[in-house]
A and B are shown apart, each in its own frame.
Chain A
C-alpha cells in the first residue's frame, strides 16, 4: 500500500490553508425561545392524566449551557411505576389490542403530524434541556422523530405482510428506558413501533433531559390517544429499575450504556420478559489512501463531533492509512479550528454544551487517561463560555490500539487517531473491540467498500458517509453493543410474538 515518493520533489501542500486570522466573526444568531412553553413543574403522565408523584418529590432539570434551572419534574417511585404499569395493562387488555389495526395506525399518524406542528417548540426545548445545537435539534432530532411515527403508523395494519407464514401478535406492556443524547428521537424510536404492533408503553426519559418527552405526553393527550396506552414516568436510575423489575412488564427496551444493559439482562433472568438492548459503541472509521480526502475529513468531523460526540455510534476510532496520515491529521486539526463551540441556541453553533457536569467529568477523565497513556492531544484553540459545561473538540494522535481511549466509549468530542498499512491489518484492528454498533469506511474503490463493509462486525456500516439515520433503516449492534433492531421492518420484530399460521 505504501506510496513511492520522489525524493527530489519539494514538499508541497495540496491543501489551501484555511485562514483563521481574519477579523471575520459570526454575529450571534440565537433562535427565539418564545416558541417554547416550559412549565415550572411537571407531574407524571399516567393513564392519560398528570398525576402527582406518590413520594411528593421533584428534581430540577437545568440548561447545561447556562446551568440555570429550567423546570422541576416529578420523581417517580415504585408506587408510581405500579400505577403506570396497571394503567398500561388495562389499556392493553381493554382498548389497544382490541382496536382495529388501522385505527391504531391513525392515532400514530396523528401524533406524527402534531410533532411536525410543534416542531419549533420541541427543537427549542430539546436544545435548552440537553445542550445540543439548535441546528441539530431543528434539522435532525425533531423531524426524524416525526418521521419515525409516520413510518411505523403505516405498519400497524400491514403486519401480516411483514413476516411470511407467521401471525404477529403484540407482547403486552413494554417498559422503555431512554438516554439523554437524543431525548425526543429515542422516545419516538421506542414508542412508535411498540404502538404500531399493538403494545402499550411505560417510558422513562433520562434524568437530565425529561422535557421533550413530557411535551410529547402533552401531544399524546392532545391527540386523544386512549388513556394508559402511553405513560411517561420521570425519575432517575431507581425509577428505571422499578420498571425493569415490575412483574407486569412483558418487554424491556433499553438504550444506554453497556454497563446498565448488562444489569438489565441479569435483572430479567428467570422471567419471561423479552429485551432489546441498544448499548455503547466505539466505531472504527477507516480512511484508505484512495479516498476523497476532503469528503472523508468532513465525514470524520461529522462522525465524532455530531451532538458533541454524545452518540453511541460515533466514529470515535479513526484508522488512517499510513501514507496519508500526516495529510489527514493536518486537515482534521485545521477543520476543528473552524468549529464554533458555544451557545447551543445560536444557529451558528456547531458544538453545543456537554449534557451534564457528570458527563463533562467523564470526558476530562479520559482526556487525562489519553495523555498519561502517551498519546498526543490536540484541541481546538476556541474560547469556551464561562458558564455551562463545554469541551473543546479534541484529537489524540499516536494512539495505541490497546489504549483505553481507543477501547472505551468516551461519549464526548474526542477522536482517537490510529494508523494502518493493509486491509487485513485494519480489519483486525477495527474488529478488535467488544463493541459492534457501527463502522465507517472511506475509499473510492467499490470492491474494497464491499470487502470492508462485509468483514466489519457491526450493525450499521457507513461507506463514504457517516452518522446517517432513517426510520426505514434498521439500527442496532453486534456483540456487546446489544441486540435487537430499531427502525425499518426489522424494528417490528422486538415487539411481537410470531406464531405459526394454521
Chain B
C-alpha cells in the first residue's frame, strides 16, 4: 500500500514509477464529487476549481459548489431529520461506531490524501488515528449526553416536570480549513451524535479527505441526507449557509471577523443559533467534549399534573 511517495505534476495520484520498457498502465483517476442526500452528484453549476499543494501539484478538479447545491443539500438534510432524530440513541451510536470502522479500514487512503495535501507521514498518520478515535468518542456519547444534560425539576406545585435535550434541526457547517479530516470529523460528529442533520462545506484548500469521507459515510448505514458534504469557497457560500430560512444553526470554524459579523447579522433572519469554533486546536484533548453536542441541542421542559386526591402524605 506504500504508493504515496511518487508524485508527478499532473493530476495523477496513484502513479507507479516502475517499468520503463513495458507498456505503462494508465492509472484511473478519482473524480471528486459532492455528497447530497446519500448520492454523489457533481455540482449543478458545472463549475470546478483546482486546489494545489505546496509543491504546486494540482490535487483534483474539485466541485465548486453553488448556492443551488447548498439549497438542495438543505432539502435533503431536512428530509432526513425526522428519521435520524427519531432513531434510538443506541442505533445512532452503532452507526457512528460503524463510521469509525469504515474509516479505520481506509486508513492508508486517508494518509495518502493527507500527504498529497502537504502533511508529513507522521502528521498524516496521527490525524487519521485521532479522527477514528474522535468518531469512537462521539459514538459513545450518543446515548449518554441526554442523561448529563437532562433534569427532573423539583417544582413547588403538584406536577411532574422534566427537561431533556432535543436536536435543534438542520445545521450548516463551514469546516476548519486546516486539519481537513480531523477538523471535519470533530465538527460533524457532535452535531449528528445529537440527532441533527447537517450540510458541511469542506476545507477549500484541502478538500480531498472530505469527499473520501463521504464514501465512508455512504458505506456506514448512515441514512442519506444526515450528512451532506459540499466543496467550494467559504467566501462565496458562507452567506447562504447562514441566511437559509430552513437552517436552524450554523457553525463557523475560522477567525475571519468580517465573516463572523456577517453571519451573526444574517442569523437574525430566523434566529439561527451561531457558533464560532475559532479557538479550537482540533488535536487537543479539549477539542472533544459533550458540550459540543450541547451546542446544537434545545432544552425541552415537559409538565404533567400529579394526582393528589389522597391528600398530604397519602401517597406512601
- Which of B148, B271, B286 interacts with A164 by CB under 8 Å? B148
Nearest neighbor of B268 in chain A, beta-carbon distance: A265
CA distance A465 to B155 in the complex (A): 14
Nearest neighbor of B264 in chain A, beta-carbon distance: A269
Interface residues on B, range: 35 or more
CA distance A123 to B54 in the complex (A): 71
The answer to whether B264 and A461 have CB atoms under 8 Å apart is no
A225 within 8 A of B: no
Nearest neighbor of A165 in chain B, beta-carbon distance: B289
CB distance from A284 to the nearest CB of B (A): 14
B304 within 8 A of A: yes
CB distance from A116 to the nearest CB of B (A): 14
Q: A164-B148, A470-B156, A479-B248 are in contact. Are A461 and B265 (CB under 8 A)?
A: no
Give residues of chain B (166-194) contacting chain A, Cβ–Cβ below 8 Å.
168
The answer to whether B291 and A498 have CB atoms under 8 Å apart is yes
The answer to whether A266 and B265 have CB atoms under 8 Å apart is yes
A279 within 8 A of B: yes
The answer to whether A166 and B291 have CB atoms under 8 Å apart is yes
Residues 44-88 of B, flagged 1 when their CB comes within 8 A of A and 0 if not, give: 000000000000000000000000000000000000000000000
How many pairs of A and B residues are in contact by the CB < 8 Å rule? 112
- Which of A458, A478, A489, A500 interacts with B151 by CB under 8 Å? A489
Give residues of chain A (254-272) contacting chain B, Cβ–Cβ below 8 Å.
258, 261-263, 265-266, 268-270
Give residues of chain A (171-188) contacting chain B, Cβ–Cβ below 8 Å.
none
CB distance from A199 to the nearest CB of B (A): 20
The answer to whether A460 and B303 have CB atoms under 8 Å apart is yes
The answer to whether A472 and B155 have CB atoms under 8 Å apart is yes
A458 partner residues in chain B, CB cutoff 8 A: 300
CA distance A405 to B285 in the complex (A): 52
Nearest neighbor of A449 in chain B, beta-carbon distance: B304
- Which of A453, A470, A476, A479 interacts with B155 by CB under 8 Å? A470
Q: A265-B268, A279-B271 are in contact. Are A461 and B302 (CB under 8 A)?
A: yes
CB distance from B123 to the nearest CB of A (A): 24
CA distance A434 to B153 in the complex (A): 28
- Which of A258, A453, A472, A479 interacts with B153 by CB under 8 Å? A472
- Which of B157, B269, B271, B285 interacts with A468 by CB under 8 Å? B157
The answer to whether B153 and A464 have CB atoms under 8 Å apart is no
CA distance A147 to B154 in the complex (A): 13
CB distance from B163 to the nearest CB of A (A): 5
Q: A269-B265, A462-B303 are in contact. Are A500 and B271 (CB under 8 A)?
A: no
B159 within 8 A of A: yes
CA distance A277 to B264 in the complex (A): 14
The answer to whether A270 and B298 have CB atoms under 8 Å apart is no
CA distance A247 to B298 in the complex (A): 29
A475 within 8 A of B: yes
B304 partner residues in chain A, CB cutoff 8 A: 449, 462-465
A268 partner residues in chain B, CB cutoff 8 A: 264
The answer to whether B151 and A488 have CB atoms under 8 Å apart is yes
A266-B264, A479-B270, A489-B151 given; 5 more Cβ-contact pairs under 8 Å: A265-B267, A269-B268, A453-B302, A465-B159, A473-B155
The residues of A with any CB-CB pair to B shorter than 8 Å are: 147, 164-166, 258, 261-263, 265-266, 268-270, 277, 279, 434, 449, 453, 458-465, 468, 470, 472-476, 478-480, 482-483, 485, 488-490, 498, 500
Can you list 19 A-B pairs, Cβ within 8 angstroms, ordered by A? A147-B156, A263-B268, A265-B267, A266-B264, A269-B261, A270-B257, A279-B271, A461-B302, A468-B159, A470-B153, A470-B156, A472-B154, A472-B155, A475-B301, A482-B271, A488-B163, A490-B151, A500-B285, A500-B289
Nearest first, the 7 closest Cβ-Cβ pairs linking A and B are A270-B261, A269-B264, A265-B268, A470-B155, A269-B265, A262-B268, A472-B153
